[in-house]
Amino acid sequence: MRNPWLFGLIGWSEIGLSYFFSNSIIILLAPFLQPYLAIINILALPYSIWSVWFQKFRVKQWCMLCLIVQFLLWAIFVVDLISGVVAWPNFELTQLAIVASVYLLPLTILSLLLPSLVKARSVTSVTQMMNSLKMKDEVMGALIKSEKRYELDHSTSQVVFGNRNANLLISVVTNPMCGPCATLHTRIDSLLAQYADRVCIQYIFIHFQGDEKRQGVQRLIAAYQNNDVNNAHRIFNEWYDGNRNESEFVEKYDYDIQANPVMEEILKHDEFTEKNKIHATPTIFINGYALPNSYRIEDVISLDTSILN
């Protein structure tokens, strides 16, 4: 039962918890102060009567935990009587200060910490609720459709993995020399291992100034064109592995990177990235729409793509 007390700043639950905690400290560490404990317990007995009245006539329902607490108050009183602890102590200033500290310090700490703990729990709850909400198809579809749509389809790049006939087309603008792109490729690899039948992953390569960096794109396109999809995927994994030896890679997969099919494919990639002024990598598109920042590529796998039509 959480009934605000002291102008709503402290609840009875906090008072009860700190009260029994303080009792335990006195019993275990300062038994010579037990007469004070007995007096404080007697002063608390009227609260038990009020609590029972409140449950019966105000809230009109019983709180089992609250009733147990009231029982404990009376049980302590009975034990104190039987054991002869109930006595009027010789009040000493030092002992009074200790008793006041033992009872007030835990209550103060608890009252200061609890709001932060409750707030943190509320934030976590709200975050979970928002995450659940944003994963609904209607919400995800609406947010994706609010992004810019690009002229992008299966013909934009022939470098694809997964199911070419899938309704879900995930297009990734990637740079072979980009660290975050390598990380994303690893995630895509895991994604394809589970959902290759329901998604088409399309790679659109971008390169920056310099023949050496352009050759990285040409090598990957050439590797894709000269192998079946499974072997091409394996070669891509080797390339994006940060531990690769580039000279050994070039020697191992010595394809003609100047072949017409390779150059024709890279020109299509260049045309798309230059026309749409795309420079950041990796950049992800879902059926032509830019993926909102609030979503990861893994989030869209189960999306009903008819919402995007």
232-274 confidence digits (pLDDT tens):
999 999 998 877 777 888 889 989 999 999 999 999 999 999 9
Looking at residue 189, its pLDDT comes to 94
Instruction: Give the count of alpha carbons within 13 A of 280, CB side only.
Output: 4
List the structure tokens of 155. Answer: 């013909």
Looking at residue 126, its pLDDT comes to 59
Contacts of 251 (CB under 8 A, 6+ apart): none
Contacts of 8 (CB under 8 A, 6+ apart): none
- Is the same domain home to 225 and 259? yes
Task: Please give the tally of structural domains in the chain.
Answer: 2
pLDDT score of 302 more than 80: yes
Residue with tokens 């979970």, as numbered in its chain: 128
CATH assignment of the domain containing 273: 3.40.30.10
pLDDT score of 82 more than 60: yes
Of 156, 176, 171, nearest to 250 (Cα)? 176
Q: Long-range contacts of range 239-242, CB-CB < 8 Å, 24 or more positions apart? A: 239/176, 240/176, 240/181, 240/182, 240/185, 240/186, 241/182, 242/179, 242/182
- Is the same domain home to 103 and 194? no
pLDDT score of 205 more than 90: yes
Looking at residue 168, its pLDDT comes to 93
Q: Which band of pLDDT confidence, cut at 50, 70 and 90, is reported for residue 229?
A: very high
Q: Label residue 254 exposed, middle or buried (CB < 10 Å: 0-12, 13-18, 19+).
A: exposed
Residue 102 lies in domain: 4-134
Q: Which band of pLDDT confidence, cut at 50, 70 and 90, is reported for residue 1?
A: very low
- Is the same domain home to 244 and 126? no
CA pair distance 268, 156, nearest whole angstrom? 6
- Is the same domain home to 179 and 297? yes
Whole-angstrom CA distances from 98 to 3, 24, 194 are 28, 14, 64
- Is the same domain home to 111 and 149? no
CA pair distance 221, 215, nearest whole angstrom? 10
Looking at residue 162, its pLDDT comes to 95
Is the CA virtual torsion 85, 87, 88, 89 positive or negative?
negative
- Of 87, 106, 134, which residue constitutes the final position of a domain? 134
pTM of the model: 0.60
- Is the same domain home to 54 and 144? no
- Is the same domain home to 65 and 122? yes
Contacts of 287 (CB under 8 A, 6+ apart): 168, 169, 305, 308
- Is the same domain home to 187 and 253? yes
- Of 76, 102, 134, which residue constitutes the final position of a domain? 134
- Of 70, 105, 134, which residue constitutes the final position of a domain? 134
- Is the same domain home to 153 and 256? yes
CB 222 within 8 A of CB 263: no
